[in-house]
Amino acid sequence: MADITTQILLEEDIDFLGVNYQFLKDLELSNPSFRDWKYTQPHRLGYTEIKALKVIFIGQTGYGKSSLINKLIGRDVFKTSDYESCTKSLQSAVFFLHHKMKHVNLAYHFSFVDLPGIGENDQADEKYLQWYKDYIKEAAVVVYLFRADKRDHTQDEFFFNNVFDKNKSKQLICVISQADKIEPINRGFRLSSSQKENLLKKEVEIKNQSFLRFGNPDIISLSTQLDINIMELESKIINKLKDVA
């Protein structure tokens, strides 16, 4: 796998995420959804190897991956910015599944992973492309972000045609982020009827893109600013985890 720095921003027990994720405790340790990883340095608790179940978030810089993960975990752990890429390395929040069981050097955990934003520059993308492919192959769920107020899908087309593994189509969720920024801009605390109508059109637009015709991916519009459809996305993630578990 490509040499990319990994930052673990949060380590908690799976109980931290609440009752909706409790089913993960019942996974058999032999479940093939767990993938093998290694710590580059020994963990503070003595772990050297990992069995990991990962939900990965991919999208262009400034599309709100970090803000979205913060909402899902209920804590501002991932740094956010509207103006520049905050993710220069892989960042993850880790939740241990079998911390009460003796596994000496082996850790079992579930994690949310924020991958560096695609489209930063050619050199960065060249460095990341194989790395993206590796992570997609290993992921239990892939969350890909579009943005409500963007119409140029050049980067998205390149990603789905050249990087995304079509065999992972059942694990894919397409998110239209920053729904509050769709026209006509409304500075209130809820979407206007015109915005809702335009979001439905945006979902159809995304669904009909030629680069997404390999399957029938879930598509959901949301806003972290207005807390729109965050729980609905969580439900989709959990359902896909249950499918692979």
Q: Domains (ranges, CATH) in the chain?
A: 6-244 (3.40.50.300)
- Find residue 37's DSSP bridge partners: 50
- What SS3 state is found at 244? helix
Least confident of 16-30, 100-114, 119-133, 231-245: 119-133
C-alpha distances (whole Å) from 22 to each of 97, 98, 105, 153, 188 are 9, 12, 24, 37, 36
Residue 38 has pLDDT above 70, yes or no: yes
Say whether pLDDT at 20 is over 50: yes
Q: What is the DSSP letter of 24?
A: G
pTM for this model (two decimals) = 0.92
Whether the predicted pLDDT of 13 surpasses 60 = yes
Is 87's pLDDT higher than 50?
A: no
* 122 pLDDT higher than 90: no
Encode pLDDT of 141-193 as tens digits: 999 999 999 999 999 999 999 999 999 999 999 999 999 999 999 888 899 99
User: What pLDDT is attached to residue 89?
Assistant: 75
Question: Average pLDDT of 106-125?
Answer: 78
Region 215-230: mean pLDDT is 95
